[in-house]
Amino acid sequence: MDIAHIFANPESPILMPAPNLRTTAVIPCAVCEGQQITVLAVRDRHGQPLENVLCRACGLVWVDPRPSNQSLEKFYSAEYRQQYKKSFQPKPKHLYRETLRASARLRDFLPHYQAGMRVLDIGAGAGFFSYVLRAQGIDSDGIEPNEHYAEFARSQLGLASVRTGFLLDITQRDHYHLITINHVFEHLPEPRAALAHMHSLLTVGGRVLMEVPNIEAVYHAPNKIFHLGHLYWYNPATLTALAAQCGFTLLQLDTHGSTQHIRVVLQKSATPVATTAVAHLVAGNADKVQAVRQGHTVRGHFLSARPYVRLAKKIVQYAREYLATRRFSNARELCDAIVKKWPLGRSQPHA
Ligand SMILES: [Zn+2]
């Protein structure tokens, strides 16, 4: 291989340092601004090159270097096609699943809601959560970057308040009492700026109800975790530290179910906390995260009961979705039937 060939092929491994030897990040850590890292993974779940790194100082994990906007757009358009195919209409099983999930979110939402509160759902998707809220007589605003999802919310679910756009397009300062953001925050390339913006949109004492995946989860096979969509991976410590630096008090945090997703309730406090003041929140966290990730091996995963229990649950779920959805002719009818039958989701403990 000659020099000309190397420069004609910028992906040539000769020009790339061995990824597991790299110890400096391209993008500084979003929690502590550190750049000393350990490379956790060099491939995504499809086997494509994608590096996820662990901050040595605080334990945050992120995609580094970040792929081009073009790659991200391609990823999202593929995900979009996977879920919505070419018709721009979710299949009945997706309607069923998403409306049930939205109903389950209602259970965590209601204790924080009082009549008259202004509510914003960030990453409203196709509007299922707004729809479930409306069935309870609660109006909400929604913002969703995918125009097809947002259009579905408006035209099929009658939710005129779901706008197409990004979080930064919402500019009503000190306006909202509650912000919900469900499995969206991990997709955002500037998490600190996003949280600071949410802080500005809330009234003092206003709350953020957020759920994100947990980097400590062992739900998925270890080689099926990382992908382009999740630009940041949190655990309770890093999410808490970031929120504290953006002027939020942590009211509640729990990890739930087999997925170990992290749910937090954050409250807008008056002043942000300096970076150094949150160091105690992340002390020892990098070693903890690294130990979990290194301890979760492919062999160990498939020797455990987890993947088989998950498969069995999925088979039951698919059968249930098929049976529950076959008699409905349109989206609205199906969503209404679910909301009426399971207003707080199907798995409510007292059901
Ligand atoms: Zn860090």
8 residue type, one letter:
A
Domain span at residue 209 reads 67-274+300-341
183 part of a folded domain: yes
Domain count, the chain: 1
Name the residue among 173, 184, 187, 183 with its Cα closest to residue 268: 173
pLDDT band at 9 (very low <50, low <70, confident <90, very high): very low
pLDDT in tens, 73-121: 777 767 665 655 444 577 888 888 889 999 999 999 999 999 999 999 9
CA of residue 277 to ligand 1 center, whole Å: 14
Pairwise CA distance, residues 113 & 177, whole Å: 9
pLDDT band at 148 (very low <50, low <70, confident <90, very high): confident
CA of residue 59 to ligand 1 center, whole Å: 6
CA of residue 139 to ligand 1 center, whole Å: 38
32 part of a folded domain: no
Pairwise CA distance, residues 62 & 185, whole Å: 12
| Entry pTM | 0.85
10 part of a folded domain: no
28 part of a folded domain: no
pLDDT in tens, 32-81: 999 999 999 999 998 999 999 999 999 999 999 998 888 887 777 676 65
21 part of a folded domain: no
Comparing 19 with 231, the larger pLDDT belongs to 231
Give the containing element (helix H, strand E) for 324: helix 306-325
Whether the predicted pLDDT of 340 surpasses 70: yes
Whether the predicted pLDDT of 214 surpasses 90: yes
Name the residue among 217, 194, 216 with its Cα closest to residue 266: 194
CA of residue 9 to ligand 1 center, whole Å: 33
Pairwise CA distance, residues 51 & 31, whole Å: 19
CA of residue 37 to ligand 1 center, whole Å: 9
Q: Please, which residues have CB within 8 angstroms of residue 25's CB and are 6 or more apart in sequence?
A: 34, 35, 36, 37, 53, 55, 64
pLDDT in tens, 230-269: 999 999 999 999 999 999 999 999 998 888 999 999 999 8
CA of residue 146 to ligand 1 center, whole Å: 31
CA of residue 32 to ligand 1 center, whole Å: 4
Q: Please, which residues have CB within 8 angstroms of residue 349's CB and are 6 or more apart in sequence?
A: none
Tell me the torsion sign for CA atoms 287, 290, 295, 301.
positive
CA of residue 279 to ligand 1 center, whole Å: 10
CATH number of the domain that residue 194 is part of: 3.40.50.150
CA of residue 54 to ligand 1 center, whole Å: 8
18 part of a folded domain: no
25 part of a folded domain: no
130 part of a folded domain: yes
pLDDT band at 132 (very low <50, low <70, confident <90, very high): very high
